[in-house]
Structure 1
Amino acid sequence: MKNRFSILGLGILLVTLINCKSETKEKKNLETHTVKENITSVDEKHIIIVNQPNGLNTPEGMVWVSGATFKQGAVVSDEMAMDHEKPALSVLVDGFFMDATEVTNKQFAEFVKATGYITIAERGIDWEELKKQVPPGTPKPHDSILQPGALTFKKSKSPVVDLYDFSQWWNWTIGANWQHPNGPKSTIKGKENYPVVQIAYEDALAYCEWANRRLPTEAEWELASRAGSYGTIYNWGNDVSVLSEMANTWEGDFPVNNSKDDGFELRAPVKSYPANAYGLYDMAGNVWEWTSDWYNANYYKEMNGQNTVLINPMGANSPFTPNNPLAKEKVIKGGSFLCSDSYCASYRVSSRMGSSMDSSLEHTGFRTVASVDMLIK
C-alpha cells in the first residue's frame, strides 16, 4: 500500500521548497415502524426503522440513532451557511447505531496491535502515485521530503493572516502520525481517551473492517447530530453564546491567538463536553470526522432539482472540488478545535468540508456506525 500524499500537503510542501458493503442478512423478528409522513410520492412501501429493534442489543460504546425524515443541510436562519450546504434536502434515513465518541487512541491502538496495520502517515511517499494528483510538470520534491509524515498545526506568528493561504498554519512534518500527532517528539501516552487523529480515509476504513462497522453517510451523521431537534443551527439550539460550554473550538483571532475559554487549545479528551440528546459526544468541534460520501460542491443544488425525498442518500456519485479538481475528496463533518467564528464556524450542524482521501491531519479523526443488518446473525 502506498502513501499517495495530499494535494493540501503538496501545496504546503511546494511553498516550503520555494522558500528555501457486504451481503444483507434477513431481517426477522425485528420490530420496525413505517414512517408515513411525506413519502407517498417517493415509495409507499418503504419501511424505515425508527426505534431500536426488539431483541437487538446496543453494541458496547454505541448509542441508537432513531430513523426519521428531516431537512439535511443549512437552515434558512443560518447566516454563516455556505453555498455547498444549501438548499436543504428532504431526506429519509433508517435508524442505526453510532459510536458515542470519536474513536480514541486506545481503541485504535487495540486495532493496530491485533492487525499490525500501518497507517498512511507511517508509509513512505511514492512519487509515481503522487504525480497522478498534481499538475503536469510539477518538480519532484527532494527525497528527504518524501519520507513518512503528516500535516500538523502551527500558530501564525504574524498578526496579519491570509485565510486563503493554508500554509500559514499547516506544516508538513516528517514523523507525524497517529502515535505522534504533533510531530515526532509528541506522544499519545497518557492520552488514551483522546480522539485518534492523523487518520486518512483508508485508515478509517481498515479500522471499520476490523470492528465490523462502517463510516456514516453525511445524512446519517447530520441526523445523529441533530438528535431529534430539527431547524436549529447548532446541535444544542441557536444560542452561540454557550459555545465554549458545548464544544472544543478556536476562540480568539484564528490562527494567531486562542483564549482557551473552552478549556483547551488543541484536542480535548472525549466526553469533555455535554452529549447531545442521543448521548453522542463531540458532534461539534474537537476533531473533524470522516463520512463515506464523496465531497461534491454542487451536490445540494443538483439533488434539490430532483424535487423528491431522498431515501438513505449516500451522497454524490463522484467528487468535485472547484479549486482542487485533481483530488478525490470525502465529506468530513463536525468541525474541530481549529474552527473559529472568524473563519468557518464549522461547529454548525450543516457545515461540511472536503478532505483528500490520503490526507492525514492533526485535527481529523472518525467515528463508526453499524446498521441493523450488520448486527443480525
Structure 2
Amino acid sequence: MQKINVLGALLVLGLMVQCKGDKKSVNKVESNAPITEVTESVVDTTPIIIEKPENIKVPDGMVWIPGGEFIQGAVPQDKMAMDHEKPAHKVKVDGFFMDVTEVTNAQFAKFVKETGYVTVAERAIDWEEMKTQVPEGTPKPHDSILQPGSLTFKKTKTSVPNLYDFSQWWNWTIGANWKQPNGPGSTIKGKDNEPVVQVAYEDALAYCEWAGRRLPTEAEWERAARGNKSESIYFWGDDDSILSQKANTWEGEFPVTNNKADGYEQRAKVKSYPPNDFGLYDMAGNVWEWTSDWYNTNYYNELGAVNGPVVNPQGASTPYNPNMPYAKEKVMRGGSFLCNASYCASYRISSRMASSLDSSLEHLGFRTVATVDMLTAN
C-alpha cells in the first residue's frame, strides 16, 4: 500500500495547525477525547521479569534493561514539563533487551540491500489516499509538488517571534530520503555510524521484522532512558549547565544560530556522548526515536487515575490529538539535535512528542528492543 508524508503534505498545502497561547496548553486534554481503555493493561499480579535469564545470551549490539517499577512522566521540579507529560504515574515493565545505539545508516543499508525495501519517502504519492488524510475539499496540489520527498530543516535568517509555527523552519523537499537526508545533493557516504533518519513508522516496522526485533513501548523507552535516575529531569541528573557535554542539541538562538557548543550542528555519530546508567547512548538528543504507542492526549490522565502500577502498558488503544485531527500519530521520544530550551527542551527524560505514521523527518530515527519471549521463541 502506498503511503504519503502527511505532515509534509500539510506543509505544502498551507494547512499547518498553529498553536496559540501558552506552550504548556498545546497538549492540554480535551473533554471530548476518546476513552483509551487503559484498564486492559492493569491489575496484573504476575511477577515481572527483572534479571536476565541465565540461559539467554545478550544479542549483539544490545544491552539488558532490568525490569522494575518506576514513576513515568514529569518529575515535580521540571519547570519545562508540558501538560501531556502529566500526571506522573506508576508503571511496571518486564526486563528486555534494547539497542545500545539508534539504528545506523550502515545497519539500515544492510537491511535494504538484503530485502530490496523501498521507504515511504521514496514512493510515488497517491492523491486518492492523501485526500483521506486532509480536510474535505482540499484542492489537489500541482503534480510538480506531488513527488516523493520528505521534510528537511532550514535555518531562518532572522529571529522568529512565533515558535508555534514550525512551517517557518521545515521544508517539503522533493528527493529527500534516508540516502539523501537533507535533500538532493546530500549524502550518507562516510556517515555509516550516524543514525538513519527520514524513516517513517512503516519503515521502522519493516526493519524490525527483518531484524527479529520490535519497537519499544513508550513505557519501556522511558524505563531504559531513566536508568537509575528515578527522580531526575535528565539522564545525568538535574544540571542543565552540562548539556553540551551530554547530548547533541541546538545551542544558540533557535532556529537562527547554532553555536555548536556540543560539537555538532546536525546529526552526530552514535556514541559521541556518554551513555546513561544502563549503557545506552543518545537517549537524549541527536534524533527522535519512534515508539509503538499511539499518541493520545488523554492517555496519561487515564493512567494517573489507576490504583496501583500499570503493568507493561501498551499505550492508548486509539490515537487522538485535537491539534492534528486528520493524522494518526505515534509517540516519539528522546529529542533531537534541533531541541532547544526556548522551543521544546525535549532532551528531558519525560519529554514526548507525536508524529504521523507516514511522516519522515531528518531528525527522526529509531532503535529496537527484544524480549525474553521473542528470543526463546526462535
Calculate the TM-score normalised by the size of structure 2: 0.91
Asked if structure 2 preserves the Cα contact closer than 8 Å seen for 1:12 and 1:166, the reply is no
Counterpart in the other structure of 1:10: 9
Residues of 2 paired with 1:101 and 1:88: CA distance?
27
Q: Which amino acid aligns with 2:172?
A: W
Secondary structure at 1:132 match in 2: helix
Cα distance per residue 1:63-96 (max 9 Å; x no partner) = 0000000001111111110000000111100000
Aligned to 1:56: 56
More off after superposition, 150-159 vs 213-222: 150-159
Native 8 Å contact 2:4 2:121 kept in 1:
no
- % same residue: 69
Partner of 2:344: 344
Unaligned runs of 5+ in 2: 16-41
**What CA deviation, in whole Å up to 9, does each residue of 1:18-56 have, x standing for no partner?**
xxxxxxxxxxxxxxxxxxxxxxx9444x12111111011
Q: Does 1:353 align with 2:353?
A: yes
Q: Deviations over 1:331-370 (max 9, x none)?
A: 0000000000011100000000010000010000000000
Alpha-carbon deviation of 1:326?
1.2
Detail structure 1 runs of 4+ shifted over 3 Å in the superposition. 41-44
Aligned equivalents of 2:255, 2:159: Cα separation in 1: 9
Are the equivalent residues in 2 in contact too, given 1:161–1:168 (CA < 8 A)?
no
**How many residue pairs align between the two structures?**
351
Partner in structure 2 of residue 159 of structure 1: 159
Q: Secondary structure at the match of 1:280?
A: coil
Distance in 1 of aligned mates of 2:144 and 2:11? 15
How far did residue 228 of structure 1 move? Answer: 2.1
Instruction: Verify: 1:333 aligned to 2:333, yes or no.
Output: yes
Which position in structure 2 is the counterpart of 1:197? 197
Measured after TM superposition, the shift of residue 4 of structure 1 is 2.2
CA shift for structure 1 position 11: 2.6
Does the Cα contact within 8 Å between 1:119 and 1:199 map onto a contact in 2?
A: yes
Correspondences of 1:202-241 after superposition (within 5 Å): 202-241=202-241
What amino acid does structure 1 have at the position aligned with 2:296? Answer: N
Is the Cα–Cα contact under 8 Å of residues 58 and 64 in structure 1 kept in the other structure? yes
Residue 359 of structure 1 aligns with an amino acid whose one-letter code is S
Q: Secondary structure at the match of 1:194?
A: coil
How is 1:243-322 mapped onto 2 (pairs within 5 angstroms)? Answer: 243-322=243-322
Aligned AA (2:66)? S
Letter in 1 for 2:224: A
Q: Is the partner of 1:354 in helix, strand or coil?
A: strand
SS of residue paired to 1:15 = coil
Query: Counterpart amino acid of 1:286?
Result: N
What's the counterpart of residue 110 of structure 2? 110
Counterpart of 2:150? Answer: 150
Correspondence for 1:173: 173
Query: Which residue identity does 1:333 align to in structure 2?
Result: R
TM-score by length of 1: 0.91
2:88 matched residue in structure 1 = 88
Paired residue type of 2:109 = A
